[in-house]
Structure 1
Amino acid sequence: MERLSSRSRTVISVDATQVFELLPDAWLILDERCEVVAANARYREMHGVTLSDIQGCSIHDINQVGPQSQRELRRSWLDSLLAGLVPGEPRLSSLIRYDTPAPDSSDGALMPRYWQARASMIEPSDGRAPLIAMCMMDVTESLAITERDQREREKLRSQVRRRQVLVDEANAELRMHREQLRQALEFAHVGAWELNPATGAIDATEQCKINLGLSASDALTEKRLFDELIDQADRARVKDAMQGALKRREHFEVEFRVTWPDLTVRWVLLRGLGRYHDDNALKSIVGFTLDITSRKEAELEQRAIAESEKRARKHSDEAARAMDRFVTAVSHELRSPLGAILSWTTLLQRAADPAHVTRAAGVIERNAHQLAHMVDDLLDSGAIATGKLSVNLQPVDLGALAGNVAEDMRMSAEAKGLRFVVGELAPCIVMADESRMKQVAWNLLSNAVKFCTQGEVELSVTVKGQQAELSVRDTGCGIEPDALMRIFERFRQVDPESGGRVAGLGLGLWLVKHLVDLHHGTVAAESAGRGEGSTFRVTLPLYR
């Protein structure tokens, strides 16, 4: 008796470290900085590492074997799993693909692998900092099995769809088995129906009516189905699919929307087949309905994601092309003035003719100003892109400011043989950064002169209600209507009629747009098309 009592008091001591080491799943223990504290044997075997290889390393930095894109995706995946984890909260990650070296590969080739992780926070009883227990699960095989099962189920469904209803069975046998068939279909949430083309009446099971948003006592007819139940946007498509299939003596399958009494929109799959008399006249149409709302919503979501990715790729390609054009433009634009400066500097070194000195100084000064202007545009574009460009708004007379810029631009316009017209310069006070607003006016006028080979350039400032309007008009090459919305994009240039290249970086109008936005104003472009000139209007609120 004493021996038995002693035995019952025996306590088996279990070493938690040994249990952790023998766990069948791959486990990691992380500290609060997400650095590896421990890894069990299954984890080390799975990834071919020792504890010393990874201990003290961040979970984000270990197992860096996949391509860069997968590494970045893995980092985001880990962040979403571990961020904000609190004690007692079990968290399961989404699936991720992260390739690892094949077990028998000598050249380090990677094989596709899919992973899922489970994490929870542990608070030690001795008051030490919390730890994170993280189980890494290789779900590649289970995912493959699931996909294979799905393919098999789809194959089975396809085989079911290919089965034809035996149309030559007697009506008596059909009536005898109809109730059994109705019960089976209701159990599978599939609704059966039969349409009499002579009367338009539809004999439908209760489940069929439920799928269409009707109650069991509601009458169903062909007219009600097409005029009330099927969504108006889908009616023509459903009717065409049904009539075309009957004409070809084929089955039809079509999806459409219905609105239930609770105003929820549901997707219904309608499948049917014609039954014919011996003289080939249509006897009836039989088929079934199935509520596919969940599947359709997932399909539409995937389609939306695909469209979004397509638009993102298109935007990325456009940005890359724009950057290529920008690099080409910068290379060309910087090379031209630098070449002129270097050439005339070399000439000055070799020739002592005073006439050459004066001409060289003018050329060097003009090209240096051009380089400085391009550098300023590049610096401003960088400041705008990073949100670091600011304006110091003070009361400024927009008419006087425009007049000063016009005098600076007049010589360039007349040197090109253009008629420079300064229209009304109404005195109007606006809140503006004077140097930035001069930059706006200068860019618009220099653009007008650049794209105008003959004719005139006109500048005016007028007051319209509570707005001041600065207008720059030219009789130059004009702008195509479909290009008007794109000319304010960065690195965008309008091609002249001649097809030749016009100097510039494609930043002027982009800078104008952002500077005007900082002044709480608007800028717009107008043109009747190629060869019709263009007008740019900047509107700013008057200062009160």
Structure 2
Amino acid sequence: MSSAFDNAEPNPTHRAANDATRTNTPHAPVDTAYLFEVLPDAYLILDARNIVLHANARYRAMTGRTLAEVVGKSVYDINQDGSAAQRQARAEWLDATLRDLAPGEERLSSLIRYDMSTHGKFVEHYWQVRASRVEASAAGDALLLLQVMDVTKEVAEGEENRRERAKLRSQARLRQVLVEEANAELRQNQAQLAEVLSFARVGAWELDLATGYMVCTDQCKANMGLQPSDVLDQGRLFSELIQADDRERVRAAIDASVAARAHFEVEYRVTWADGSVHWLMSRGAGRHLGDGSAQTLIGFTIDITARKTSELRSQAFAAEQQRAREQSDRAVRAMDHFVAAVSHELRSPLHAILWWTTLLQRAKDMAHVERATEVIERNTNQLARMVDDLLDSGAIATGKLSVELRALDLAALASSVVEDIRVGAESKGLIVRAEALTPVLVMADQNRMRQVMWNLMTNAVKFTERGTVELVVATDGAHAVVTVRDTGTGIEEAALHRIFERFEQARGEGTGRTAGLGLGLWMVRNLVQVHRGTVTAHSDGPGKGALFRVELPLAGPDDLRRAALQDDGQR
């Protein structure tokens, strides 16, 4: 079966004639034969016996073959560079891809490794082909369109980035469109190549810059969500189809291309009649008159929605991975601070206990007994509190913290906590106020709520050098409110969002680390959440004190009845 493609190269005389024709006929049909020759992807056209009828420029450049080396030969016999085993595998691979391919069917092959000879050296290559069978004429002659894809780069990048998972797989990029006139022999195959372009989902177009009228293939209109009978011009494209956010960018790309007499490539979104949004990529170049002015633009359009969706999904995944890494880094830094704090906080009371114990053993002076007993008891209690905090933090972190809810008067509990703290606070010269304690009932674990108030009050005393520390219990609608206010060092606004994190301290930036494990406020937040409450912090800045507010649901009649029944059952 003969073909007008065989060993054909562009004819300069024909090119000139075609250029003149297209110059004087702005509404001429798109030269699809020419577009096949300059498609950025590699294509072969085979007859029914798998004989190569034509190979486009991209295929010849990719394989280093001339038309004479491939045209007229079986696709099984060309490019015999690989080893014997690779040649056998290639034949089986082609056979699996081409066997029983029905008219109109499109089939994508599996991946295969087939090495190529470059400058006398074999270079590792990976390939895929997409095969489509089309009817070439009314007589039923069938042609096979074979898109050949060198995916070596994609395979290499996939291997390199497999562990990262956050990087995008390389996509085959369409190469530059060479705007040249096709010769007379290729023009005879316009109808056939229009069908080929449809299978490749490439839409061709030509825009008259003077009138704004566009000549488009059916596939080009389909890519834009239009019917073949729809009329398309530049005004409709920019006012109706291209999304508003992308219009200026597309116009700028076209204007820059015309001014620089260079091709353009731009990606943009179009909205179909059904409201769905699709991503398109257009690439083209201008055709200029003898005086240098541009008369028309010619190019092609491809629907890249699937690729852009994957791209955006990968970008979102990469951003999430980055956030996870940052969170992990913060956790590592926090753990470093925690280890340093624990080492310091445990060492101080242990040294005091050890020193006074040694003094008693050596001096045997009864005058030191009372003083040593006080010091040892105080430091032992401090160690016990730290151990309790560590145990509680572990229970909270693992979700094993248990609470026993009973009807609890927060005012009575607050009064008890204040009395326990008052001596230590007043020894620092602080004024402790707890006049506004309104009796309110909540369902809470008494020990855990004592821990909440104790941590908030001791935290306020710790970071207040002079002034007052105030505890208030009140109601606000259906909630009980516990407020702890101090006139201490305050908290910088940037630190307010993280003071309830584990191993952080409520202090102004630059004030240095204060004694403690950095667990108090973290435990307060978790204990309050267990009681279905909330805790917030506020400060006007360094040196202006701080306010902590705890809200808990008030105990309702049903809660009190259940608590009474539970108490009766236990008795």
Q: TM-score when scaled to structure 1?
A: 0.68
Q: Distance in 2 between matches of 1:450 and 1:327?
A: 21
Partner of 1:23: none
Partner of 1:317: 329
Q: Does 1:207 align with 2:219?
A: yes
> Could you tell me which of 162, 179, 197 is aligned with 2:176?
162
Q: Is the 8 A contact 1:516 1:522 kept in 2?
A: yes
Q: Does 1:521 align with 2:522?
A: no
SS class of match (1:400): helix
Kindly tell me: are residues 340 and 153 of structure 1, through their superposed partners in 2, closer, same or farther at Cα, counting changes over 3 Å? closer
Partner of 2:394: 382
Unmatched runs of 5 consecutive residues or more in structure 1: 1-138
SS class of match (1:477): coil
> Could you tell me which of 457, 461, 466 is aligned with 2:478?
466
SS class of match (2:175): helix
| Bigger RCO (CA 8 Å, 6+ sep) | 2
Deviations 1:194-250 (A, max 9, x none): 222223322222111110111112222223222321233333333333333433333
Q: Distance in 2 between matches of 1:451 and 1:429?
A: 30
Kindly tell me: are residues 164 and 423 of structure 1, through their superposed partners in 2, closer, same or farther at Cα, counting changes over 3 Å? farther
Root-mean-square deviation over aligned CA pairs: 3.1
Q: Is the 8 A contact 2:177 2:299 kept in 1?
A: no
Aligned partner letter, 1:366 = R
Q: Distance in 1 between matches of 2:293 and 2:432?
A: 84
Unmatched runs of 5 consecutive residues or more in structure 2: 1-110, 115-123, 129-148, 156-169, 557-571
Q: Distance in 2 between matches of 1:535 and 1:248?
A: 64
Kindly tell me: are residues 146 and 315 of structure 1, through their superposed partners in 2, closer, same or farther at Cα, counting changes over 3 Å? farther
Deviations 1:441-463 (A, max 9, x none): 00011111112222221110111
Q: Shift of the alpha carbon at 1:277?
A: 2.4
Partner of 1:252: 264
Matches within 5 A, 1:288-307: 288-307=300-319
Q: Distance in 1 between matches of 2:154 and 2:362?
A: 88
Partner of 2:126: 145
Q: Shift of the alpha carbon at 1:180?
A: 6.5
Q: Shift of the alpha carbon at 1:173?
A: 12
Partner of 1:278: 290
Kindly tell me: are residues 395 and 165 of structure 1, through their superposed partners in 2, closer, same or farther at Cα, counting changes over 3 Å? same
Q: Distance in 2 between matches of 1:140 and 1:302?
A: 26
Q: Is the 8 A contact 1:267 1:292 kept in 2?
A: yes
Deviations 1:307-362 (A, max 9, x none): 33222222222222221111111111111111111112222222344443222222
Kindly tell me: are residues 278 and 141 of structure 1, through their superposed partners in 2, closer, same or farther at Cα, counting changes over 3 Å? closer
Aligned partner letter, 1:266 = H
Kindly tell me: are residues 176 and 146 of structure 1, through their superposed partners in 2, closer, same or farther at Cα, counting changes over 3 Å? closer
Q: Does 1:228 align with 2:240?
A: yes
Partner of 1:62: none
Q: Shift of the alpha carbon at 1:172?
A: 11
Q: Is the 8 A contact 2:492 2:508 kept in 1?
A: no
Q: Distance in 1 between matches of 2:324 and 2:269?
A: 30
Q: Shift of the alpha carbon at 1:488?
A: 1.2
SS class of match (2:248): helix
Q: Shift of the alpha carbon at 1:157?
A: 6.3
Q: Distance in 2 between matches of 1:495 and 1:302?
A: 40
Provide the aligned length of Structure 1 versus Structure 2. Answer: 403
Q: Is the 8 A contact 1:192 1:204 kept in 2?
A: yes
Q: Distance in 2 between matches of 1:152 and 1:483?
A: 47
Q: Is the 8 A contact 1:213 1:259 kept in 2?
A: yes
Q: Shift of the alpha carbon at 1:163?
A: 3.9
Partner of 2:438: 426
Q: Distance in 2 between matches of 1:484 and 1:156?
A: 45
Aligned partner letter, 2:207 = L
SS class of match (1:242): helix
Partner of 1:327: 339
Matches within 5 A, 1:83-482: 145=126, 149-151=150-152, 161-166=175-180, 182-482=194-494
Aligned partner letter, 1:534 = A
Q: Distance in 1 between matches of 2:112 and 2:348?
A: 59
Deviations 1:390-427 (A, max 9, x none): 11111111011111101111112112222222241001
Partner of 1:486: 498
Q: Is the 8 A contact 2:125 2:152 kept in 1?
A: no
Q: Shift of the alpha carbon at 1:541?
A: 1.0
Matches within 5 A, 1:68-79: none
Q: Distance in 2 between matches of 1:312 and 1:530?
A: 31
Q: Is the 8 A contact 1:192 1:288 kept in 2?
A: yes
Aligned partner letter, 1:236 = E
Aligned partner letter, 1:151 = T
Q: Is the 8 A contact 1:398 1:429 kept in 2?
A: yes
Partner of 1:26: none
SS class of match (1:454): coil
Q: Distance in 1 between matches of 2:421 and 2:449?
A: 15
Q: Is the 8 A contact 1:211 1:289 kept in 2?
A: yes
Q: Distance in 1 between matches of 2:522 and 2:218?
A: 64
Q: Distance in 2 between matches of 1:442 and 1:512?
A: 10
Partner of 1:7: none
Q: Distance in 2 between matches of 1:368 and 1:340?
A: 10
Q: Distance in 2 between matches of 1:319 and 1:157?
A: 40
Deviations 1:480-529 (A, max 9, x none): 22322211111122454553221111111111111111111111111122
Matches within 5 A, 1:2-21: none
Kindly tell me: are residues 533 and 239 of structure 1, through their superposed partners in 2, closer, same or farther at Cα, counting changes over 3 Å? farther
Partner of 1:541: 553
Q: Is the 8 A contact 2:177 2:284 kept in 1?
A: no
> Could you tell me which of 515, 523, 527 is aligned with 1:503?
515
SS class of match (2:436): strand
